[in-house]
Structure 1
Amino acid sequence: MLKAVILIGGPQKGTRFRPLSFEVPKPLFPVAGVPMLQHHIETCAKVPNMKEILLIGFYQPNEELTRFMFNAQQEFKISIRYLQEYAALGTGGGIYHFRDQILSGNPAAFFILNADVCSAFPLTEMLSFQKEHGEPNSFVILGTTANRKQSMNYGCIVENEETNEVLHYVEKPSTFVSDIINCGIYLFNPDIFQHIGKVFQKNQQDMLLEEPTNGWHRAEAIRLEQDIFTALAGQRKLYVYKTLSFWSQIKSAGSAIYASRLYLTQYHTTHPERLASNKEGGPRISGNVYIHPTANIDPTAMLGPNVSIGTGVTIGAGVRVRESIILHGANLQDHCCVLNSIVGWDSTVGKWARVEGTPSDPNPNDPYTLFSDGKLTPSITILGCNVTIPSEVIILNSIVLPHKDLNRSFKNQIIL
């Protein structure tokens, strides 16, 4: 019997995802037409002998999260529960805190998945790999390759090329260590809790020796990457399975467009019914496009490639949309143009207006597409919720916070 645990973080995480995370918890943000988490849940539910999916995070259990879990349980016919942390406990602390719930029913192994990754999730391949490599009590990290410069933004893995054993693990090194990076998807067995428990006990002892701090230093705050993997490397317990299929992190809003593109491409094999096609009386479709059935689109509009249109969206005559995500209730008026952008919920783009980002093809493994050195780099344009763009203006490489009525053009600005 198997289980899966998805780490969803909490509201003070995902700050780089603003202003979109103001309206919806980041794990529920729609990527390629469905909430980010749904891609994880769907893949987990397909794994044979998968008994339960646990979500661990420190969001307050709100109406959106509850409704999403209820709908997902119905659709994928699997038990889904949310376990709320009392504070941000880190990637290891959260699963250690809820170890009794994870181990109830005595699972042989369990997956840990970070919610902010986009992947083909090769979970059954990881199970086969675990059987072939190392002991049945070994732990598996999913890895992929990155270029030298990118790799330093991630956990870097040095492996034994014959056995795939992890010999050395460094989180975000300051110099080049390896081009194999950690994808944030793991396969563990119950033994992992012994290793996390040792760190917990050491943290408790350290706290007793220290001057009492103001309660921030909690023994339960444990990071899998720095505290566990670094120590396990070279002990013949930790192995890396390298995937050749797509993988990306979704840290910034810009990376959501990139992730949407990857999932839309995957739909050809997994969900062809989600991809729009050219039909008589319908809009012109170029490349991979997802359109929610409730959207109302003028037949003279042209959409694609890599476009996702949400519920209740209205798109007028002659509109052009490319490499963009258009969220619920947005209204794109006649002849406007939206390129490399995210248009927020219930926002309006006026007639003949242009909302445009610069296609700085975000590197799949680079979460920093939006800001570098504190400045806005040429990247995508984001309209928050309920923003109004007047007719005949240009909004270029800018972020517009929610509930703004603009009256002129903007370029390279954050509009507060």
Structure 2
Amino acid sequence: MLLKTIILIGGPMKGTRFRPLSLETPKPLFPVAGFPIIHHHIEAAAKVEGNKEVILIGFFQPNEALNKFINQAQLQFKVQIRYLQEYTALGTAGGIYHFRDQILAGKPDYFFVMNADVCGDFPLQEMLDFHRSKPSGTFCTILGTEATRQQSLTYGCIVENKATHESKSLAGQIMHYVEKPETFISTTINCGIYLCSPAIFSPLEIEFKKNLEQNYNCDQDHQRVGYDYTTAPAKEVIRMEQDIFVPLASSGKLYVYQTERFWSQIKSAGAAIYANRHYLKLYRKTHPERLAKNGAGKPQIIGDVFIHPSAQVNETAVLGPNVTIGKNCMLGDGVRVRDSVVLDGAVLQDHCCILDSIIGWNSTIGDWTRIEGTPNDPNPNKPFAKMEAISTFTFDGKLNPSITVIGSDVQVPSEVIILNSIVLPNKELSGCYKNQIIL
């Protein structure tokens, strides 16, 4: 059996809610629990027997950071990894159809599609076993999970066939699908992880040809009124959720596999803190060697903590729970860090306190300074939580009580407090701030 995995990494027009962190590095390469977000995707895919290739699809310009990541991941996971660049944003299925010859090369039996802006304990092998148990004409299996009624309104909602033991082959069959409904449909939501059979290219081709016909008709109309073609939508844009799943629902060719494992989206910096916590917890089972341990001459560790081997941490520091310390960081005497991510090259001087925050690359936090956020996470122990609840901004653009984000190369002086604030890169602060965006 031959499998491939497609990871949709988007492009530079996305990720605005993730700023200022995405100003320095593409969001898919942002480190969570010590590794880039898509590292966790590739690691999960590489564990599935028969998975021979990972294809990244997006419209980022290839750069040194992306190329370096791909080369390192290929060596680590012993799987071929390639990046295919779209000429523009083609939607969640347009890129898949555009590069269909590359995906179908070698005649894979199935292929996974994973959105890069989700994280979780991905049950890919279980999805594969479930998909193979369904009728041979099945196009796709969607990974689903349970949300609350209110949370479900901002996701794709799935109504499935609750089949009895007399018709097990129908269990999980999707009867109705609505993307971000205006009213309640179902508490089963789409996780953005799909397992497709090559037959999925049949409805993709139909949608593509329909787009061409519609665009041709529009072109004829626009020629008569002097239309500006620079604003015309790409003819190849296809949305997997609205254009493919909605019409496929009730066809008998679309199924949902539900998981109770940890899953969430990563839309905002607060979501990265949430994902960091759960990936660290997952390491207890999958990679206990990655978690720091207490011992003579070592800092005090509380709960789950990742410390990069190159980091220098004073033995009087207290770290955890839910802390990641990146490459070449320096932590001085009596430093306290909890529920935070400290990115590569950051310096935390003596006795500073970092709570519910992200400290940017190569930033310096002065002696006795307190950096603190206020996470809005009602139940941290549940495997699913709506990430917009921890968003940096409210819908009217005002700053939400949330984690504090210090951008890269920021100098924070000694003996100040930074509370619930966002600091853009390359700033030199001079005092205390609360609920502010420092431009």
State the identity %: 60
Instruction: Tell me what 1:414 maps to.
Output: 437
User: Match of 2:279, as an amino acid?
Assistant: Y
- What SS class does the counterpart of residue 406 from structure 1 fall into? coil
Asked whether the equivalents of residues 130 and 138 of structure 1 are also in contact (C-alpha less than 8 Å), the reply is no
2:418 matches 1:387:
no
Q: How far apart in 2 are the matches of 1:69 and 1:384?
A: 25
User: Match of 1:400, as an amino acid?
Assistant: V
Q: How far apart in 1 are the matches of 2:235 and 2:188?
A: 30
2:283 matches 1:260:
no
Deviation at 1:137, TM superposition (A): 3.4
Pairs within 5 Å for 1:309-348: 309-348=325-364
Pairs within 5 Å for 1:8-407: 8-135=9-136, 137-162=138-163, 163-210=171-218, 211-212=221-222, 213=227, 214-215=229-230, 216-361=232-377, 364-368=385-389, 369-372=391-394, 373-407=396-430
User: Match of 1:371, as an amino acid?
Assistant: F
Cα deviation per residue 1:369-391 (whole Å; 9 max; x = unaligned)?
21112111110000000011111
Deviation at 1:136, TM superposition (A): 5.2
Asked whether the equivalents of residues 3 and 53 of structure 1 are also in contact (C-alpha less than 8 Å), the reply is yes
Deviates further, 347-356 or 128-137: 128-137
Asked whether the equivalents of residues 8 and 56 of structure 1 are also in contact (C-alpha less than 8 Å), the reply is yes
Asked whether the equivalents of residues 250 and 367 of structure 1 are also in contact (C-alpha less than 8 Å), the reply is no
Using the size of structure 1 for normalisation, the TM-score is 0.98
Deviation at 1:135, TM superposition (A): 2.9
- What SS class does the counterpart of residue 75 from structure 1 fall into? helix
* Runs of 4+ residues over 4 Å off in structure 1: none
Gaps of 5+ in 1: none
Deviates further, 333-342 or 367-376: 367-376
- What SS class does the counterpart of residue 181 from structure 2 fall into? coil
Instruction: Tell me what 2:167 maps to.
Output: none
Asked whether the equivalents of residues 137 and 253 of structure 2 are also in contact (C-alpha less than 8 Å), the reply is no
Deviates further, 154-163 or 211-220: 211-220
Deviation at 1:131, TM superposition (A): 1.8
Cα deviation per residue 1:72-110 (whole Å; 9 max; x = unaligned)?
001111100000000000001010000000000000110
Asked whether the equivalents of residues 138 and 252 of structure 2 are also in contact (C-alpha less than 8 Å), the reply is no
Q: How far apart in 2 are the matches of 1:135 and 1:178?
A: 27
Q: How far apart in 2 are the matches of 1:36 and 1:125?
A: 22
Computed over aligned residues only, the root mean square deviation of the Cα atoms, in angstroms, reads: 1.0
Deviation at 1:359, TM superposition (A): 2.5
Asked whether the equivalents of residues 372 and 420 of structure 2 are also in contact (C-alpha less than 8 Å), the reply is yes
Q: How far apart in 2 are the matches of 1:100 and 1:64?
A: 27
Deviation at 1:406, TM superposition (A): 0.4
